[in-house]
Structure 1
Amino acid sequence: MIALLLRDLRLAVRAGGGFGLGLAFFLIVTVLIPFGVGPETGLLSRIAPGILWIGALLACLLSLDRIFALDWEDGSLDLLATAPLPMEGIVTIKALAHWITTGLPLVLAAPALGVLLSLPPSGYLWVLVSLALGTPALSVIGTFGAALTVGLKRGGLLLSILVLPLYVPTLIFGAEVARRGAEGLAVQTPLLMLAGISFGTLALLPFASAAVLRINLR
């Protein structure tokens, strides 16, 4: 499993869909928002948590189609399906590799980019916590969507259409945690809901993704 994880990390970086692409998109979104809504500090500070979450969500979408595409194209996916490692374990490793190369850099960069949006000082910790807790769910859900569209030509648009509605609960509660934290309000309820979504997807979706892959590989 470690060898598979290291292989996927190398492939993600070499293919150009790893650390740099998501961070660059996240930075572009954060820089453009003040130009679009105006330089008013009060307005920017109110919308900063939601903007950071939307930017992170869209950045995660950029590399979802590559989770299984490279393995499908070179035939590695067929070999992985016959390996001793269960398909559920392979899917989990794929999701972990996507989170490390895409989600984790976004989590670490969000507090720094919050400065550009005049994020209140009390909100930095909660933006970091909410993204750290929510982005694994984005990767796992995205892996499920990638499994559904593997092998389809130009399946990137279809993948986005399938995955975006599934992202909505994570976005709602993640942004709410960050917003309440920035305003000094209680965050327990949305934080528990966000944790429930993340742990629920981690527990259930690898099995669904593995079942879909087995059907697509027949």
Structure 2
Amino acid sequence: MIALLARDLALAVRAGGGFGLGLAFFLIVVTLVPFGVGPEGGVLARIAPGILWLGALLACLLSLDRIFALDYEDGSLDLLATAPIPLEGVVTIKAAAHWITTGLPLVAAAPVFGILLHLEGAGFFWLTASLALGTPALSVLGTFGAALTVGLKRGGLLLSLLVLPLYVPTLIFGAELVRRGVAGMETTTPLLMLAGITAATVALVPFASAAAIRVNLR
């Protein structure tokens, strides 16, 4: 399992377009928002939690199509499907590699980008905490969309259409957690909901993704 994780991380770096592309897209979204809504600090501070979460969510989409595509093209996916490692474990490792190369850099960079949107002081902690708790769910859900579209030419748009509706609950509770943290309100409910979504996703979605891969490989 560790060897598979190291291999996926090496492939992600070698293929390019990993954390660098996600961070660049995140920065572009954050930079363009003041041009669209105006430079007023009060307005930017109010919408900062939602914009930062939305930017991170969209940045995660950029590399989803490559989760299984490289293995499918060189035939490695067929070998992984018949390996002693359960296919559900392979999917989990793929999701972990995607989070390390895409989600983790976004978590680290979000507080810096929050400065550009005048995010208030208390929001930096809650933004980092919510992204660290919620982005693993984005990566795991992404494996399901990638499994459904593996082998399809130009399946990136279809992948986005399949995955985006599944991302909505994570987006809602992640942004709400930051908003309540900034306002000094009770954060227990969105925190527990976000943690529950991530836990349920990590526990259940790999089985659905593995089943979709088996169907596509028949």
Q: TM-score with structure 1 length normalisation?
A: 0.99
CA displacement, residues 55-101 of structure 1 (integer Å, 9 cap, x when unaligned): 00000000000000000001010111111100000000000000000
1:6 maps to a residue whose letter is A
Letter in structure 2 aligned against 1:128 = T
Residue 165 of structure 1: aligned partner: 165
For 2:129, the equivalent position in structure 1 comes to 129
Find the aligned partners of 1:14 and 1:180 in 2 and give their Cα distance. 40
In 2, distance between residues paired with 1:12 and 1:169?
28
Name the structure 2 match of 1:53: 53
Give the whole-Å Cα distance in 1 for the aligned partners of 2:183 and 2:65. Answer: 37
How far apart, in 2, do the equivalents of 1:142 and 1:182 lie? 29
Return the alpha-carbon distance in structure 2 between the equivalents of residues 154 and 75 of structure 1: 19
Deviation at 1:15, TM superposition (A): 1.2
* Structure 1 residue 17, shift from structure 2 partner: 2.5
Does residue 192 of the first structure (1) align with residue 187 of the second (2)? no
Shift of 1:198: 0.3
Q: How far apart are 1:182 and its partner, in Å? A: 1.2
How large is the Cα RMSD of the aligned pairs? 0.6
Q: Deviations over 1:106-159 (max 9, x none)?
A: 001000110000000010000000000000000000011100000011000000
Taking structure 2 as the reference length, what is the TM-score of the superposition?
0.99
For structure 1, the 5+ residue unaligned runs are none
Runs of 4+ in structure 1 displaced over 4 angstroms?
Answer: none
The one-letter code of the counterpart of 1:194 is L
Residue by residue over 1:186-218, the C-alpha shift from the partner in whole angstroms, topping out at 9 and shown as x without a partner, is 110011000000000000000111111111111
Hey, what's the Cα distance between the residues in 2 that align with 1:95 and 1:154? 21
Residues in 2 aligned to 1:116 and 1:31: alpha-carbon distance in whole angstroms: 7
